[in-house]
Amino acid sequence: MAGSSAKIQGGPDPGSFSRRFHELVDDSFRRAYASRALGGTLGVKVVSPPRINKPGDATTFSVIATTAPAAPATADLVKTLRTYTIPQATQGSNLNAYVGGQTASYVDLASGISSRLGLVIAVVIGLSFCILLAAFRSFLFAVQAAIANVLSVTASFGVLTAVFQKGWGLSLVGLDTASGTDPIASYVPLMMFAVLFGLSMDYQVFLISRIEQHRAEAGSDRDAIRRGLASGARVIVAAALIMIFVFGSFVLNADPTVKQFGVGLSVGVALAAVCVLVFAPAVLVLAGRGSWWLPSWLDRTLPHLDVEGAGAKPETPVKAMPSGTPAGP
């Protein structure tokens, strides 16, 4: 008995073969079932044969959707696979299934960014509004600056969507895809908002500082707006053209994401300059004296910011010294 027992322990265990056989059969069945479940999902065009790694403990499927990568239906398909198809296919087992790939990563990144995007936009607009109030003591100007900036940024988002997600003129930027569209990287709108809002605010501050300068010279409000626009428009247009050409050169890059930045930023800068040169002066002229209204309690609360030395007192002019007079105390 002892010798027989030792022989059994030292040799192969028939039970292990049986368990391994059942595991292989079970894994094959689960792979086939998962493949059928994926292929039967609405919106799935093709499911590749399973690719098994060398240890045999992981399997991957490639799923091709019937819609374009940038289409909203493709993102919905990712959610459907994660929420319904895969949980039902792996129910009652200890399998862990994940949906990866470029489209899925864009969906995950977009979800994370969109959850914080509203807070970021609100903080940026709120801080810029407070700074403009403290700098120029004009409630209307701060409001119109925030509105104009948001309008120019959102309009540039629309152009970006039309070109890349709708495919309107996509070939003009050097992209030729099978679907005729290209998915927009989820972080592009957030970065565009930060850059465009900063540039647009620079143009706003430059214009209103010129108007404030002429208004301090005892001119009428309408005359100050006219003279400020005349003196500041050329500089704003020149600065905008420089940035448009710089951002426009991004389109020459082969990377689709860089092209997206190029199109969105160049269009956004052009729209921001137009809003500053047209929208801001029009609002100030229509409001008249109300353009510089600020509640008294708010005027007392806000700190006074001296923009470009506007509050500095003029220096006493130095009298010319007669020729031949020695310098010194």
24-41: average pLDDT: 68
Report the predicted TM-score, pTM, of the whole model to 2 decimal places: 0.69
Contact criterion met (CB below 8 Å) for 300 and 227:
no
321: CB partners within 8 A, 6+ apart: 327
283: CB partners within 8 A, 6+ apart: 140, 144, 291
What's the pLDDT at 16?
47
Residue 7's SS3 state is helix
Helix H or strand E segment including 59 = strand 59-60
User: Does residue 256 carry a pLDDT above 60?
Assistant: yes
User: Does residue 284 carry a pLDDT above 70?
Assistant: yes
User: For the domain 102-304, what is the CATH superfamily, name and number?
Assistant: Multidrug efflux transporter AcrB transmembrane domain (1.20.1640.10)
What's the pLDDT at 27?
58
What's the pLDDT at 274?
92
Longest dimension (CA), the chain: 131
> Cα angle at 92 between 91 and 98, to 5 degrees?
45
Looking at every residue in the chain, the average pLDDT score rounds to: 79
